[in-house]
């Protein structure tokens, strides 16, 4: 009953946003282009693994006195958790509500479904492979047409990868770009649901990602409660 209620609310909100922006489709190409570290400071956790985001000094909340006296109520805690997840995957609110609605229609746990859908975005898969140092760099690599799925160019960051898909790079300049990104990420670990070949710069999706394979700490229960 709770999941159906959540699904109806998220779907209704997504439909309302789609009516407000009829040309957006189900893969709106809007993107956040502002300061990235500011997002980490806003939610209090690093949304990227780069030193700028993981530095404790850089994560001080905005303002002269930082977090002093700042106490979140229940609504603020849930909102902050939702924003953490959105920023980590670089999706806007309209897109996020669409994922929530889709997750509610699927069988199983809605929170786990949301994480799986977000993990299967093409730009995120490029990040998990280490081909892009950040989600923003990975989105750019996809958007510039460097990535192929099953031998065909795909330039939509929101493209949903499926089990059995083979991911490769289209041109030599794309490979040069990706190798420079890989060199900047020593010790990067590719998740078990992706079979990667670093020498050939190809990868194959061998399983669906599960919630415990997401290398980002987030409380999905709080996010679902936020939309109820």
Whether residue 222 sits in one domain with residue 204: no
Whether residue 136 sits in one domain with residue 174: yes
- Give the tokens for residue 20: 């407000």
pLDDT tens by residue, 162-208: 999 999 998 887 888 898 888 877 888 899 999 999 889 999 999 99
3-state DSSP assignment of residue 222: helix
Instruction: Tell me what the mean pLDDT of segment 126-133 comes to.
Output: 92
Whether residue 148 sits in one domain with residue 94: no
Whether residue 137 sits in one domain with residue 115: no
CATH number at residue 134: 3.10.290.10
Any alpha helices (H) in the chain, and if so which ranges? 2-20, 36-43, 51-54, 74-89, 93-105, 110-119, 122-129, 135-143, 172-183, 220-226
pLDDT tens by residue, 170-179: 888 788 889 8
More confident of the two residues 193 and 34 = 193
Domain holding 132, by residue range, is 122-208
Whether residue 96 sits in one domain with residue 84: yes
Distance CA 148, CA 171 (A): 10
pLDDT of residue 2 exceeding 50, the answer is no
Whether residue 90 sits in one domain with residue 65: yes
pTM of the entire predicted model = 0.77
């Amino acid at each position: 009953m709770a999941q159906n209620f959540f699904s109806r609310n998220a779907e209704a909100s997504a439909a309302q946003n789609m009516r407000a922006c009829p040309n957006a489709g189900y893969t709106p190409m809007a993107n956040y282009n502002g300061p990235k570290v500011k997002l980490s400071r806003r939610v209090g956790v690093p949304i990227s693994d780069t030193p700028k985001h993981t530095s404790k000094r850089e994560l001080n909340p905005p303002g002269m006195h930082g977090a002093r006296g700042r106490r979140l109520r229940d609504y603020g805690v849930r909102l902050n958790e939702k924003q953490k997840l959105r920023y980590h995957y670089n999706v806007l609110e309209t897109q996020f509500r669409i994922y929530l609605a889709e997750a509610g229609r699927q069988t199983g746990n809605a929170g786990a479904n949301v994480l799986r859908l977000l993990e299967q975005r093409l730009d995120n898969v490029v990040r998990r492979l280490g081909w892009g140092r950040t989600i923003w760099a990975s989105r750019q690599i996809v958007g510039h047409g460097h990535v192929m799925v099953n031998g065909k160019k795909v330039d939509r960051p929101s493209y949903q990868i499926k089990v059995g898909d083979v991911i490769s790079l289209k041109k030599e300049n794309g490979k040069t770009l990706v190798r420079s990104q890989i060199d900047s990420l020593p010790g990067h670990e590719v998740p078990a649901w992706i079979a990667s070949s670093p020498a050939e710069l190809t990868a194959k999706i061998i399983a669906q990602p599960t919630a415990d394979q997401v290398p980002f700490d987030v409380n999905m229960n709080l996010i679902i409660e936020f939309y109820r």
